Amino acid sequence: MCELLAMSANVPTDICFSFSGLMQRGGNTGPHKDGWGITFYEGKGCRSFKDPLPSAKSAIAKLVTEYPIKSEAVICHIRQANSGAVCLENTHPFIRQMWGKNWTYAHNGQLKDFAENLPVKLHIPIGTTDSEHAFCWLLDQLQNKFGTKEPEPIELFTYVATLSSQINVLGVFNLLLSNGDCLFAFCSNNLHWITRKAPFGEATLIDAEVKINFHHETTDKDIVTVIATQPLTQDECWHKMTSGQWQLFCLGESLASGEA
């Protein structure tokens, strides 16, 4: 299995604190040593850092921890391989372009018989993972349904939720998906989220000896939502998502949610 991390914020915010915790699970406090990746949106653009090496030992992960890239949407993944070899083309997040936007996708779980059950035509996988294959199938379905024009977010992501539950039938499908504006999460069996806003307090990482007082790092207007496979802090109250639940965030706030 793998671990997922994502952020949606109403002001460009760095994710150094959360990432510092998560990266320890890539070979140190956790077994997810088969590569990692993180994608930061800045406007319509995005940039990724990826490494097939364990995040706990990666020079690139160290840079990401120390170099505060401010972003309104972030998706991160650390991998424990189950489908597909440990190599760069199998390292999440996967990014593809549609409707003049970058679409970023990360998956935790495992899917059986995905090639037969999720035929792809327009978007062809590059690597050999179940995850990328399901992403290509998802994009194919979106393009088939909505054609050349991106629909409004709630219509779009409600359909993504339906597609997610179809994929979920094949195994375990915890999903993070973003187009830079919205952050969508579908829970198969394991996802937690928290929204931080004023009054801000303190938080302590579970995986590293790091404590932060968000009051000193933020303004009263900031709203920041973090989604993770497992809670990253020990002194905050994270919402546990249930199987089949989905959440849509935009600029840190919940835009819609439901059960698929």
Residues that are catalytic: 2
- Let me know how long the chain is: 260
Q: Is 91 in the site for a copy of itself (CB under 8 A)?
A: yes
Q: Is 219 in the site for a copy of itself (CB under 8 A)?
A: no
Give the shortest CB-237-to-a copy of itself separation in angstroms: 34
CB 234 within 8 Å of CB 188: no
CB 112 within 8 Å of CB 129: no
Please tell me the count of residues contacting a copy of itself according to CB under 8 A.
Answer: 34
Q: Is 45 in the site for a copy of itself (CB under 8 A)?
A: yes
- CB neighbour class for 242 (10 Å; exposed up to 12, middle 13-18, buried from 19): exposed
137 to 196, contacts with a copy of itself by CB under 8 A? 148
Q: What is the dihedral of CA 195, 196, 199, 201, to 10 degrees?
A: 130
At residue 7, the 3 state secondary structure works out as: strand
Answer for which of 123, 133, 192, 196 binds a copy of itself (CB under 8 A) is 123
CB 27 within 8 Å of CB 33: yes
129 to 148, contacts with a copy of itself by CB under 8 A? 148
Binding mask 61-80 for a copy of itself (x = CB under 8 A): --x---x-------------
Summarize as ranges the residues that interact with a copy of itself (CB under 8 A): 42-52, 59-60, 63, 67, 87-91, 96-102, 121, 123-127, 148
